[in-house]
Amino acid sequence: MKKFRKVLDGLTTSSPGGNIGSPSCGSAAGTPTAAPTPKEIDIQETLVSENFQLCKTVRHGFPYQPTALAFDPVQKILAIGSRSGGIRILGRPGVDCYCHHESGSAVLQLQFLINEGALVTACADDTLHLWNLRQRRPAILHSLKFNRERITFCHLPFQSKWLYVGTERGNTHIVNIESFILSGYVIMWNKAIELSTKTHPGPVVHLSDSPKDEGKLLIGFESGTIVQWDLRGKKADFRIYYDEAIHSVSWHHEGKQFMCSHSDGSLTLWNLRNTSKPFQVTFPHGKIQKDGRKESCKPILKVEYKTSRNSEPFVIFSGGLSYDKAGRRPTLTIMHGKAITVLEMDHPIVEFMALCETPYNNEVQEPYAVVVLLEKDLIVVDLTQSNFPVFENPYPMDIHESPVTCTAYFADCPPDIIPILYSIGAKHKKTGYSQKEWPIITLQMLYKLKTSKVFEKPKQGEGRAAELVEEDPFAVQMVSWCPQSRIFCVVGISAHVILYRFSKYDANTQIVSLEVRLQCESEDVITPSENENNPCFSESGSHSPQPHHQHAASPGSGTPDGIKDSIPCLKVKDRMVRVPPGYQADLVIQLLWVDGDPPQQITSLDINSAYGLLAFGNCNGLAVVDYLQKTILLCMSTLDLYGAADPYQRLTRSPRRNRQSTSGKFCMRGLSNFYSDSKKRIRTSYQSKSGLPKGVWGTLCVFAGGMGGGNALVEPVRRENSFSRSRSSSVSSIDRDTKEAITTLQFGESYGRKSDVLPTPCLWVGTSLGMVLLIPISIPTDQEERMEEPVTIGPSGAVLMLKGSVLRFGFLDCMGALIQSPCEVWRDLNAPEDPDRPRRRKLVHFSPSSSQDACGEGHLAVLCSERQAKVFLMPSQSCLFVHNITESSFVLRADVISVCNSVCLACFCANGHVMTLRYVNRCSFYLSVQSH
């Protein structure tokens, strides 16, 4: 159920300082206020409530707890039912929908009305549903509830109007598929078996029509009894009594034989000419013991008997292994002639189904693949090749095996980026898989990148990553991508940043590695006595921060190997490596252990291809790297960034202890003009190890969106950032935090000082205490100078303040148009030399809609925290507007986006609300959506 709430704040009054009331997100009324403006700013906006509506764009991932499988061989549509009552329908491009039973009952069985756009579902609440799939949103046409009997099996013959329903009592009912009502024709169990037999045959476990005569119905009972019922004559043609329980039955296409699977691991083949005993009994996995007896085997849960024109029949079944080995993995066995192939699965088999060329059961089946539904995966086996290779899955389907840790959505990408990613990704197919196209559903991956290939594989007991995280030291936490320059940055859980460049050519390369000491001392905290709810420390509270006392390192002190210092968590490959076309690692930046303390995980990241700069921060400080010259420009603790502009009264710091200085390459360029205090340097403090979840790898998957417009979805698969935002309403206050983390970074053309006349490159820095710092940057404009002359950078002392942790920055010109950061146009550094094409950097500056003169007059800066949104006029730094977004909750993510040729601030709150705010003459309008 979706609730839409549209709120239009009170219109602006004639007094610019008047209070404007506005309901906040699930809280008491917000208090937007207006400050006197240095000049009149008139922004023409066109946004109205109708521009905002909630719609589903894409559903990714494997259905949770799948229970049933069905396939339409004509439409090539796959349906998967789940334990929670969901149905996932997948097919060719554009066919991907999800529907759900309101009862929430588990789906027991699915039956397509082949080539008719309809689906029958049987649920655990003993209700049958007929779904219409021909409309845009699938809907239930009819439902039929069984009140006195439990449904156990359903069968719908191809092009038949009769649905056969078996029950737990052993009865078989017939439903008219058009009217979806019971026909009144019931095959009672006591009539199906001989009247002299007093033993109940058990539930119906199989129903199927004879390939020779659709008027003959084969009924299989759990006890081992099989009856062929003449629907016209209302009598049994023959009865079979077998002493082993039946799990499934499968016909030969000629209708003269059928095969049964049993609980003792056997397969029986029956001939209709003589039904007194099976024509053949086999134990596919049962060995003959020394005493001449067959060893006991597990049940064969399902068997399919399929014929082929040019080869022996296929017998495909699940289960049936012997009990001789404990802990054996689930298997699918393919018997083809005398050859037996056993395929081991990573998860229990829920269902499997052979895909055949024809939907008619009286024709040669010609199976070409087998779909195997596992508890956490979907496997497709190619039957057209003798070794039965598996089709390579487009992406891992087990969301638990590869948990998504962060997502980034990129709209309006360059039109050539999708085809180039697809062409490069297609070349990365693994060997040993079927070379044919994925036969059932479209799940096309564009490109996959594994970050672990950058590092040496750590040996058992070696490396520091194992001490920082329990496993999976390559887990991805954060990504930053510039589609125009195709530069891609990845933040890993082991406190490292990897910068990738894109190339269409393979190359021999040596990865450059930089190491950064980014620690601060325990004196840099604000109130160390109150450290709960601090994102820098473990949520469990088992490791509270303690003052770190300097002492000499000696063997056995601190750790068995002595105190660790100046070492990263992982070892970068230091040799020349051959890299294939695609994204190639160019630079790795790693934070170091300091005095036995592990580096804190990175909490913010931004890159700018026009500047050639990369910035990242954590709860200790900020680092800026020139990735063109491969040098570190700035490495400072958060507190040192303020200098004399610190608005808070920090604790008095103790005299500096002699610390080991950083090496020359960890310099801070251009800081002499900002700080003359030689005592200011990088500090270290005790950092607790955060407990981290298991089961995360380091894979990135990029998928194409189905909405058009060159959209791309970047999905780094693996673990959630341990920098948690689960906090109470007062957590963000200054007296609750022990450290000030860098929470957001953004490069852009702005004004670093109030006295600036024209915009220059700047880095905007937001912190967990609601502080915003502006850092101007001086970059050589000539290309040759850019590669040789240093870039100067340093804090300007400009500080802006918000309530709550800072989440996002956005920049508008004075006409309200969104200002994009400049970028570099992609150039392939590995391309062959072309004398007619100069190999120079080409930069693009996105000019706003207003004139260049207007640009010189300043711009608007939109700042959003987890509590507030503010609009500042730059360079005067005057606050034009304040809006308290929420009081009872907090904003998780926010962004300044362009919608319908206008700009708004979109916010997603922790209480499930999605809000959009616009700036119109100091008036705020927003749409709030809450999901239940």
Tell me the C-alpha distance between 209 and 211, whole Å: 6
With CA atoms as reference, report the closest residue to 734 among 803, 688, 683, 798: 803
| 611 and 625 Cβ atoms separated by less than 8 Å | no
Tell me if 19 is assigned to some domain: no
Burial pattern 650-669, b for ≥16 Cβ within 10 A else e, equals eeeeeeeeebeebeeebebb
Tell me if 181 is assigned to some domain: yes
pTM: 0.68
What DSSP line would sit under 293-346, residue for residue? PBPPB--EEEEEEE--SSSPPEEEEEE--BTTSTTPPPEEEEEETTEEEEEE-S
The pLDDT of residue 58: 60
Residue in the block written with tokens 């009819």:
142
Tell me the C-alpha distance between 253 and 111, whole Å: 20
Tell me if 510 is assigned to some domain: no
Q: In DSSP terms, which residues pair with 622 in a beta bridge?
A: 617, 636
Count of domains for the chain = 2
Could you read off the pLDDT of 358-414 as tens digits, one per residue? 999 999 999 999 999 999 888 899 999 888 998 876 555 555 556 677 778 887 788
The pLDDT of residue 152: 97
Distance from chain centroid for Cα 521: 37
Domain end (from 295, 323, 346): 295
Could you read off the pLDDT of 703-754 as tens digits, one per residue? 333 323 333 333 333 333 333 343 333 333 333 445 789 999 999 999 999 9
464: pLDDT strictly greater than 50: yes
Could you read off the pLDDT of 192-245 as tens digits, one per residue? 987 666 789 999 999 999 999 999 999 999 999 999 999 999 999 999 999 999
Tell me the C-alpha distance between 881 and 870, whole Å: 6
Could you read off the pLDDT of 57-81 as tens digits, one per residue? 666 667 889 999 999 999 888 999 9
Tell me the C-alpha distance between 851 and 301, whole Å: 74
The pLDDT of residue 48: 77
Could you read off the pLDDT of 835-881 as tens digits, one per residue? 766 677 888 875 444 334 444 578 999 999 999 999 999 999 999 88
Beta-carbon contacts of 895 under 8 Å, excluding residues fewer than 6 positions away, are 808, 810, 905, 906
The pLDDT of residue 471: 62
Instruction: Report DSSP state, residue 733.
Output: S
Query: Which two structure tokens, joined as six digits, stand for 810?
Result: 């956005």
| 160 and 231 Cβ atoms separated by less than 8 Å | no
Domain end (from 254, 275, 295): 295
Tell me the C-alpha distance between 197 and 194, whole Å: 5
Least confident of 455-459, 498-502, 903-907: 455-459
The pLDDT of residue 440: 66
| 635 and 653 Cβ atoms separated by less than 8 Å | no
Confidence label for 465 from pLDDT (cuts 50, 70 and 90): low
24: pLDDT strictly greater than 60: no
Residue 420's H or E segment, with its range, is helix 417-426
Tell me if 715 is assigned to some domain: no
Residue in the block written with tokens 């009144």:
184
Query: Which two structure tokens, joined as six digits, stand for 439?
Result: 């036969």
Confidence label for 43 from pLDDT (cuts 50, 70 and 90): confident
The pLDDT of residue 680: 30
Tell me the C-alpha distance between 104 and 311, whole Å: 45
| CA max distance for the chain | 106
The pLDDT of residue 135: 85
The pLDDT of residue 703: 36
Tell me if 695 is assigned to some domain: no
Q: In what order do the strands lie in the sheet with 246-251?
A: 246-251, 257-262, 267-271, 280-282
CB-CB neighbours of 60 under 10 Å: 15
| 753 and 776 Cβ atoms separated by less than 8 Å | yes
Tell me the C-alpha distance between 599 and 369, whole Å: 50
Tell me the C-alpha distance between 322 and 285, whole Å: 6
Residue 835's H or E segment, with its range, is none
**Residue with more model confidence, 143 or 414:** 143
| 814 and 41 Cβ atoms separated by less than 8 Å | yes
Confidence label for 54 from pLDDT (cuts 50, 70 and 90): confident
- The answer to whether the Cα torsion of 664, 668, 672, 676 is positive or negative is negative
The pLDDT of residue 30: 40
The pLDDT of residue 928: 52
Instruction: Report DSSP state, residue 484.
Output: T
52: pLDDT strictly greater than 90: no
Question: What is the percentage of the chain residues whose pLDDT exceeds 90?
Answer: 47
Query: Which two structure tokens, joined as six digits, stand for 607?
Result: 């890159």
Tell me the C-alpha distance between 469 and 781, whole Å: 43
**Residue with more model confidence, 919 or 770:** 770
Tell me if 862 is assigned to some domain: yes
Q: CA 723, 608, 404: angle at the middle one, nearest 5?
A: 35
The pLDDT of residue 472: 77
Residue in the block written with tokens 């909405």:
707
559-565 long-range contacts (CB < 8 A, ≥24 apart) are 559/596, 563/595, 563/596, 564/464, 564/593, 564/596, 565/592, 565/593, 565/594, 565/595, 565/596, 565/660
Residue 375's H or E segment, with its range, is none
| 606 and 623 Cβ atoms separated by less than 8 Å | no
With CA atoms as reference, report the closest residue to 8 among 37, 51, 45, 49: 49
Tell me the C-alpha distance between 525 and 530, whole Å: 10
- The answer to whether the Cα torsion of 619, 621, 626, 632 is positive or negative is negative
| 317 and 349 Cβ atoms separated by less than 8 Å | no
Range of the domain at 763: 742-830+840-928
Could you read off the pLDDT of 426-461 as tens digits, one per residue? 666 566 677 776 666 755 567 888 899 999 887 665
The pLDDT of residue 649: 60
Tell me if 247 is assigned to some domain: yes
- The answer to whether the Cα torsion of 633, 473, 745, 727 is positive or negative is negative
257: pLDDT strictly greater than 80: yes
Tell me the C-alpha distance between 36 and 34, whole Å: 7
Helix (H, G, I), strand (E, B) or coil at 640: helix
Tell me if 158 is assigned to some domain: yes
| 262 and 220 Cβ atoms separated by less than 8 Å | no
Tell me the C-alpha distance between 584 and 577, whole Å: 10
Q: Convert 383-413 into a string of H (helix), E (strand) and C (coil).
A: CCCCCCCECCCCCCCCCCCCCECCCEEECCC
With CA atoms as reference, report the closest residue to 737 among 526, 518, 520, 523: 526
Name the phi and psi angles at 852, rounded to 5. Answer: -65, -30
Provide the mean pLDDT of the chain.
77
Could you read off the pLDDT of 638-681 as tens digits, one per residue? 888 988 777 776 654 444 443 333 333 334 333 323 333 322 32
Name the phi and psi angles at 894, rounded to 5. Answer: -150, 155
Tell me the C-alpha distance between 437 and 355, whole Å: 14
Tell me the C-alpha distance between 854 and 385, whole Å: 68
The CATH number of the domain holding residue 93 is: 2.130.10.10
Q: What is the 3-state composition of the chain as percent helix, strand, coil, each rounded to the nearest 5?
A: 5, 40, 55
Is omega for the bond preceding 693 within 30 degrees of 0, making it cis?
no
Instruction: Report DSSP state, residue 631.
Output: E
Could you read off the pLDDT of 559-593 as tens digits, one per residue? 444 456 788 999 999 889 899 999 999 999 999 99
Burial of 843 (0-12, 13-18, 19+ CB in 10 A): middle
Distance from chain centroid for Cα 801: 34
Burial pattern 554-585, b for ≥16 Cβ within 10 A else e, equals eeeebeeeebbbeebbbbbbeeeeebebbbbb
